[in-house]
Structure 1
Amino acid sequence: MTTISRNFLFFIIVAASAWYLNNNLLVVSNIEQFMPADIRDKNAQVLIEKSQKGLSANLILAQISGSNDKELSRLSRTLKLNLEKKKSFSSVINSQNFNDLKHEKLLKYRYLLHSNNTFDIDSLRHNFEKLLTAFTADTPSEFIDYLLIDPQSVFLDYLSLNQIKTTAKQKNGVWFVGNKALLMIQIQKNSTIEQQDLAIKTIKNTFEANKPSGAKLLLSGASIVAVEMRKNILNTIQYASFALIIIMFFVFVFIYRSIYLLILAIITLASSILIAMSVTQMIFSQIHGIVLAFGITALGVCLDYPLHVFSNTCTKVSARNAIKKILKPLKIGVLTSIFAYMALIGTGFDGLTQLAIFASIGLLSTLLISVYFLPLWMQNTKINKRKIPIGKCLSLKSKIFISLLVVLLPAIFLSQQAGLFNTDISQLNPASIASKKVDADLRQVLGSEEVNHVFLTSDKNLTKILTETQEIQQQLKKLVAQDIIGGTISADTLLPDKKTQKYRQEQLPNKEKLKNNVSLAMSKMPFKQDAFDNFINDISSSKTMPLLNYQDFEESLMASKIQSLLFIQDGVWYSLIRVIDIKNINKFKQQVNNSYLLKNTYYSISAMAGNIMNDYLKKTWTRLFAMLLLLFAITLWFAYKDKNRIWIVLPVFSGVLISLSFQALLGNSINIFHLLSLLLVIGLGFDYSLFFNYENNKMIQLSNSTHAITISAITTIMTFSVLAFSDVNVLSSIGQIVVIGVFACFIIAKFISTPTNKYE
């Protein structure tokens, strides 16, 4: 292939990748991709999905503070009024909601849906007296009209099952806790991260447009965390990219004394990143923000390959000849890193699989560009690089002593650590401790349902499911009575089974008896004789109405609520019972364990996910260490021909152990994201060892390897230092472990991997 045709092919591939990404790139930040995908326990999988994608995923809790009660009330009402006009939001609640009273279908079925039905004369008279009070209390006319149809407020009581059981006090018609106004804002379900971001901006802009005059708006919720996380990740990518460019500029101006080589290095890295992003987007239809941030930073390590080409090229050695001399260790180093990432495929984590593809394609692309394109672009380039001191090599005895030290000391230290590995899924939540506390406090005040402790029953028979749900509810009512929990919500409270509906239907009085009781109850009251005819007719109609089923709720105002509690997947019905306000978690768990029914249907989302995470982490870590042993075996095979090769693997093992020890020393437990960092440490450690060790008996060749590796280590450490200070705790953990691991690998590889006989 000619030089022109090869350059044209390169241009087409890069341009096609850029065009594809411009039209298709989708960056997501939902942390569920770093949860195991193929969970064996079907109920566990369903619960985890619901916890991640249920109604609470799009629920925003809002708090307005910083002004007097009158002003805060105005701001709350105005914000609610303005947001309700926008399509992005399905509901905005800042007080008890009575707007649903107009829903005629469920209103007619109120006596089958709710049990608060008493029709004796005394009870009816009491209801009528309350109605008279409403007349004189400046009550809205539409509410009066409703009470004439339903003087017992049966439908209102039923609707309260779908409303917030808040401990907030109502002032000036809106919720308050202390001197802060509260709102609950529901973004439309199935909203994308972009739509959620836009909705959040709409809330903030709408609030500012209301002229808050010093009042402040605080938002919390899963959507807020997801949007902020994506923003922080993108900021981190920008900072890391900027840092890498500054470092590269310094390196190429000061060390290589060539702007042209800087341009070639940027083209190599940028092209590799574009190609890796395109392939990942094609395969997964999206790229996770963490994969993008870590992947782009990790591919900065690919700077190694052009650096090796540049450092081994001089006035006497062309780039083409330099590549011939270093091609074998270059290939081994790249393939080793690719094998390390490929160990992530099949672990059950979609995010890790995505990262493996991204990194592998990037590494392979960089190798191909460095080998097949850089020599073309450097044909007439003369490199007059600045020398880097080589330093003195250690004796064999010193190597053995230091080797034992850098392996045994961190290994012993790690073996002494209790609870070193962290499988708590809360570690995956990128929100700060302060924002988590705000969210927890608001949820408690607003009476939001517990998302961690739930009860779940499943079966193919819907009737059986509803019956079992009622049995669980009966058990939980005892906990409510003991003030262990605040309450519960489940499908059976919204949709009673047909047996219950039939029983309530049979208990309704006949028309003549009810008419007589109403007449006697309203005697001596200023009501018209026919004031409650609609009330009487509704009860009469209820006695012959067909019983309600699940399908009847699909278009009702209760649809979203009931679908979150009762749903079907793959032909199996699932009924979810959520707990509200656990007041004493120890007593709650004790009572659950004392009941066979509750014990067998109870799930703690965090504990369950932690157990699943623990199993998968063991599998993934096993793969990691298996891969390290494979590297060791390969090294032994090389050492069969050359005893000096035995030193290649030691910096890799010690780098992993030292980086883990440093995390333990900081008091950090090891989680799934440290695994990502260790793969990078392994790849770089092997690369450093390989080039320091690879057979070169001329000092000039060792000088070239030292030259390239030293620059690589400096750029990698400085770039990942940006991640170490990221606001996203996941990225900061990655940055810390890479900085320490790479530094350790470089120092140990320099003094241990270099063959002793080089200087002897």
Structure 2
Amino acid sequence: MTPARRIALALLWLAALAAAGWAIGQHLQLSGDLRRFMPSAQTPAQKLLIDELGEGPGSRLLLVALSGDKAETLAAQSQSMRNALAARPEFKLVANGADLGLEAIPERLRPYRYLLSPTLDAQRYDAATLADALQARVQDLGSPAASMLEPLLPHDPTLETLKLAEAWQPANAPQRLHGVWFDRAGREALLALETRAAGFDPQGQQAAVDAVHAAFAQARGASASTLTLSGPGAFSVEIGGRTAREASLIGTVDSLVFVLLLWLAYRSWKAPLLGGLPLASAGLAGLGAVALLFDGVHGITVAFGFTLIGVAQDYPIHLFSHQRPGLSPWASARALWPTLGTGVASTCIAYLTFLVSGVDGLEQLAVFTIVGLGTAALTTRFLLPALIDPAPRDAAASVWLARAWAALARLPRLRAGAVLALAALALAVAVWAPGAFWQNDLAKLTPVPADALARDAQLRGELGAPDVRYVIAVSAADAEAALIASERLLPQLQTLQARGAIGGYDLAARYLPSAATQRARQARLPDAAALRAALDSAVADSPFRADAFAPFLDDVAAARAAPPLRTGDLDDTPLAASVAGLLLQHPGRATALVSLSGLRDPAAVARVAQAQGAQLLDLKQASESLVAAYRGRVLLALAIAAVLLAGTVWIALRSPRRVLRVLAPMALTTLLILAVLRGLGVELNLFHLVALILAAGLGLDYALFFDHASDDYAEQLRTLHAVIVCSLTTLLVFALLALSSIPVLRAIGLTVALGVAFNFVMALLIVRAPASRGGVDAHA
């Protein structure tokens, strides 16, 4: 093929990639829901944990602190931000303490105050009760609060609205200064925001965070105040931005090093360009396959997928390094294909096992990797040879490579006994190194700095946020049954609080009693004639006019005839967020939650909950059991993959000795990686396991190609050249990842970097064959 035709074919390939990228981009829907990387929940606590991770109010909560100026200035800024953010569509609730009065009960719901308040559980609206209330109002009108109460009295002479508003305030609510929330020291104004977007919706949380900063910039003016923003959404935005910056830096360095190494290795500017085509094809093919087969592509799938198919850059490198004058690129590709195909098939089999994991995220990762690696291999075999210069330099003619091989040839080859001894030593270190072997605590995987987490905990404490570990759950067939069941817990909860077992509690029935309770209170309301007679008697002994409380009579009549209030009636009110966070509704089931604060005696609370048919759930234990279940599935997949991988190598080589020799470096390297990590005190997590598969795939490739070279001196040099270039490019990428501030990237980077180094050394010491005597003489 002429140079002009090779250039035309390369441009056509690039055009096809550009078109494919545009088409995929039009239909690609990225997801940030971490539940896709979680196994199916089995226990009630696990199910609750999964629900809360994605959709619960806890994942939607943003905490704001304003500091650095006078309290009056901060209060004004807090109120300005509240007004601005309450009108924004990104937020369901904006609270700063200023809306805990009458605004908590919208005008359309105020007649329901008699059904929501517990007052009628203990008394009736008779003449004596109303007379006492009117005498108290006379005193109130002589107090500083008169201007606030006077507009309310015609509708509510018993002040039931204020009683409800006060009862609904959190038990550990922060203090109010200048009408808004402040911390205990009085130096920081506090706000609590609930976003409409779920905590792991990156676009939605980014929009909410941007809105907060814009509102603060407008409220701040020339003030010296500062903003602190915390919460899962704020952390996810920060992590996403930092991950993108680090990934961009690593990707840029990787690309530059890839270009530089290939240019140095092959003394041709074409090599980096041509070598990138199979890799780009692999990425687009994998992404397109996932987009086609799944409803939304997870961001982790994309990030991990492009990392894992990085092994595909080895395929064109092997083809370049094995090229030599007198052998066409097509013939070279055919000669390499059995070895290359075996390596590709083995690596794909390892990821194929993820398809039976039952975890959507792992299934996506498997499809991305398998399709990507297969595409890279096929394009290297059937397209790339058409673009390669048919008369390249022969790597076997390199003087420095010959000297390097001569030095390596003097290294002792590891025999079976030495391999087994080294494996036993590595296994002993991995098993008996001090510290826990597995990392089950999801919190330790977070890249959020410790000082930010401490600040978040401080703000939650100031705002009286409930315990995030323990919660009482009451499950039922529907919301009404769940509310009734949770109401039965109220006497026991009050007893626990009085005994000091808990500091406080909150539940949906506190804001929205069950329909049964509402009807019972409704039945205790006097009819119109009885209420009018009682009111006339009370007014006669007071300074109020006889007709002053006609609106009160209308409200009671409306309450007597009203249907019970339901959750849907609370939409667009401050109560909606409180109830939604404590009453989880799904088709066919509902769960009423009791959040706890100041929990001191979990055992006592568990006994009370169990006696009422409820459960005290430990969400920390649930997360750890979920991680353990996930790890169990991954380990099972790895065990199946190991068997299938060995079978694939056996089919390709058909020699027990060769099969053992090829598999030994990979197996020994896996043990050595575990020994080093455990020796360094690293607790292994799921991402280490995923990285071990990638490291195993690299090691298998190195061993297969050294085995392919056999005792042919020239082929040994070409193989050494290819493996050195492959190792250096891969090692640099993952060494950079090992330096990342993101724990997930750091775990993958360190594991694979160790794997590259160990696999290279072990393949040389175990698989390489001595060169033939004639080959040595010919190149001496």
Q: TM-score when scaled to structure 2?
A: 0.89
In structure 2, the CA distance between the partners of 1:146 and 1:310, relative to structure 1 (3 Å rule), is same
Structure 1 range deviating more: 91-100 or 123-132:
123-132
Say whether residues 1:606 and 2:620 are aligned partners: yes
CA distance in 2, matches of 1:598, 1:434: 41
The answer on whether the counterparts of 2:66 and 2:74 sit within 8 Å (CA) in structure 1 is yes
| Equivalence for 2:432 | 416
CA distance in 1, matches of 2:74, 2:133: 35
Q: How does 1:25-40 map to 2 (within 5 A)?
A: 25-36=28-39, 38-40=40-42
Q: 1:71 aligns with which of 70, 73, 78?
A: 73
| Equivalence for 2:450 | 433
Residue 7 of structure 1 and its aligned partner are, at CA, apart by 6.3
In structure 2, the CA distance between the partners of 1:666 and 1:31, relative to structure 1 (3 Å rule), is farther
Say whether residues 1:223 and 2:233 are aligned partners: yes
| Equivalence for 1:145 | 151
Residue 716 of structure 1 and its aligned partner are, at CA, apart by 1.0
The amino acid across from 2:88 in the alignment is K
| Equivalence for 1:471 | 488
> Deviations for 1:451-476, whole angstroms, at most 9, x for unmatched residues?
43222233336554333222233332
Q: How does 1:294-443 map to 2 (within 5 A)?
A: 294-380=304-390, 382-383=392-393, 387-388=400-401, 389-390=404-405, 391-393=407-409, 398-417=414-433, 419-443=436-460
Q: How does 1:478-497 map to 2 (within 5 A)?
A: 478-497=495-514
Say whether residues 1:718 and 2:732 are aligned partners: yes
| Equivalence for 2:63 | 61
Say whether residues 1:173 and 2:179 are aligned partners: yes
In structure 2, the CA distance between the partners of 1:719 and 1:47, relative to structure 1 (3 Å rule), is closer
Q: How does 1:612-627 map to 2 (within 5 A)?
A: 612-627=626-641
Structure 1 range deviating more: 229-238 or 137-146:
137-146
CA distance in 1, matches of 2:312, 2:58: 42
Q: How does 1:58-207 map to 2 (within 5 A)?
A: 58-97=60-99, 98=101, 100=103, 103-117=106-120, 118=123, 119=125, 124=130, 127-128=133-134, 131-132=137-138, 135=141, 144-160=150-166, 163-177=169-183, 178=185, 179-189=187-197, 192-207=201-216
CA distance in 2, matches of 1:212, 1:220: 24
| Equivalence for 2:263 | 253
Residue 350 of structure 1 and its aligned partner are, at CA, apart by 1.8
CA distance in 1, matches of 2:208, 2:411: 65
Residue 605 of structure 1 and its aligned partner are, at CA, apart by 2.2
Residue 442 of structure 1 and its aligned partner are, at CA, apart by 1.6
Q: 1:672 aligns with which of 680, 686, 701?
A: 686
SS of equivalent residue, structure 1 residue 668: coil
Structure 1 range deviating more: 477-486 or 671-680:
477-486
The amino acid across from 1:460 in the alignment is A
Q: TM-score when scaled to structure 1?
A: 0.91
CA distance in 1, matches of 2:75, 2:151: 28
The amino acid across from 2:303 in the alignment is A
The answer on whether the counterparts of 1:505 and 1:542 sit within 8 Å (CA) in structure 2 is yes
The answer on whether the counterparts of 2:605 and 2:616 sit within 8 Å (CA) in structure 1 is no
The amino acid across from 2:520 in the alignment is Y
In structure 2, the CA distance between the partners of 1:603 and 1:43, relative to structure 1 (3 Å rule), is closer
In structure 2, the CA distance between the partners of 1:76 and 1:545, relative to structure 1 (3 Å rule), is closer
Residue 16 of structure 1 and its aligned partner are, at CA, apart by 3.3
The amino acid across from 2:439 in the alignment is N
In structure 2, the CA distance between the partners of 1:87 and 1:460, relative to structure 1 (3 Å rule), is closer
Residue 159 of structure 1 and its aligned partner are, at CA, apart by 4.3
Residue 397 of structure 1 and its aligned partner are, at CA, apart by 6.9
SS of equivalent residue, structure 2 residue 472: strand
Residue 346 of structure 1 and its aligned partner are, at CA, apart by 2.1
The answer on whether the counterparts of 2:102 and 2:165 sit within 8 Å (CA) in structure 1 is no
Structure 1 range deviating more: 702-711 or 380-389:
380-389
In structure 2, the CA distance between the partners of 1:168 and 1:121, relative to structure 1 (3 Å rule), is same
SS of equivalent residue, structure 1 residue 156: helix
CA distance in 2, matches of 1:593, 1:22: 55
The amino acid across from 2:213 in the alignment is K
CA distance in 1, matches of 2:329, 2:622: 56
Residue 322 of structure 1 and its aligned partner are, at CA, apart by 1.8
SS of equivalent residue, structure 2 residue 408: coil
The amino acid across from 1:253 in the alignment is W
SS of equivalent residue, structure 1 residue 149: coil
Flag structure 1 segments of 5+ consecutive residues without an equivalent: none
Residue 382 of structure 1 and its aligned partner are, at CA, apart by 2.4
In structure 2, the CA distance between the partners of 1:726 and 1:138, relative to structure 1 (3 Å rule), is farther
The amino acid across from 2:92 in the alignment is S
CA distance in 1, matches of 2:651, 2:595: 60
| Equivalence for 2:51 | 49
Identity of matched residues, %: 24
CA distance in 1, matches of 2:531, 2:736: 77
The answer on whether the counterparts of 1:221 and 1:439 sit within 8 Å (CA) in structure 2 is yes
In structure 2, the CA distance between the partners of 1:380 and 1:702, relative to structure 1 (3 Å rule), is closer
> Deviations for 1:646-685, whole angstroms, at most 9, x for unmatched residues?
2111111122222222222232221111121111011111
The answer on whether the counterparts of 2:479 and 2:591 sit within 8 Å (CA) in structure 1 is no
CA distance in 2, matches of 1:331, 1:71: 70
The amino acid across from 1:219 in the alignment is L
Q: 2:278 aligns with which of 247, 268, 276?
A: 268
> Deviations for 1:483-533, whole angstroms, at most 9, x for unmatched residues?
332333333333323432233233334556655655565567553332223
CA distance in 1, matches of 2:139, 2:738: 66
Say whether residues 1:18 and 2:17 are aligned partners: no
In structure 2, the CA distance between the partners of 1:548 and 1:73, relative to structure 1 (3 Å rule), is closer
The amino acid across from 1:169 in the alignment is Q
In structure 2, the CA distance between the partners of 1:485 and 1:429, relative to structure 1 (3 Å rule), is farther
Structure 1 range deviating more: 630-639 or 699-708:
630-639
CA distance in 1, matches of 2:608, 2:206: 45
The answer on whether the counterparts of 1:329 and 1:694 sit within 8 Å (CA) in structure 2 is yes
> Deviations for 1:574-617, whole angstroms, at most 9, x for unmatched residues?
12223131342xx1234314653368522222312322331231
The answer on whether the counterparts of 2:411 and 2:765 sit within 8 Å (CA) in structure 1 is no
The answer on whether the counterparts of 1:240 and 1:722 sit within 8 Å (CA) in structure 2 is yes
The answer on whether the counterparts of 1:685 and 1:745 sit within 8 Å (CA) in structure 2 is yes
Residue 161 of structure 1 and its aligned partner are, at CA, apart by 5.8
The amino acid across from 2:495 in the alignment is K
Residue 436 of structure 1 and its aligned partner are, at CA, apart by 2.3
Say whether residues 1:505 and 2:557 are aligned partners: no
The amino acid across from 1:168 in the alignment is P
SS of equivalent residue, structure 2 residue 356: coil
CA distance in 2, matches of 1:22, 1:267: 19
CA distance in 2, matches of 1:703, 1:685: 18
Q: How does 1:561-710 map to 2 (within 5 A)?
A: 561-570=578-587, 572-584=588-600, 587-593=601-607, 596-597=610-611, 600-635=614-649, 641=655, 643-710=657-724
SS of equivalent residue, structure 1 residue 648: helix
Residue 731 of structure 1 and its aligned partner are, at CA, apart by 1.4
In structure 2, the CA distance between the partners of 1:466 and 1:183, relative to structure 1 (3 Å rule), is closer
The amino acid across from 2:352 in the alignment is M
Structure 1 range deviating more: 377-386 or 694-703:
377-386
Paired positions, count: 756
The answer on whether the counterparts of 1:688 and 1:745 sit within 8 Å (CA) in structure 2 is yes
In structure 2, the CA distance between the partners of 1:31 and 1:663, relative to structure 1 (3 Å rule), is farther
The amino acid across from 1:203 in the alignment is V
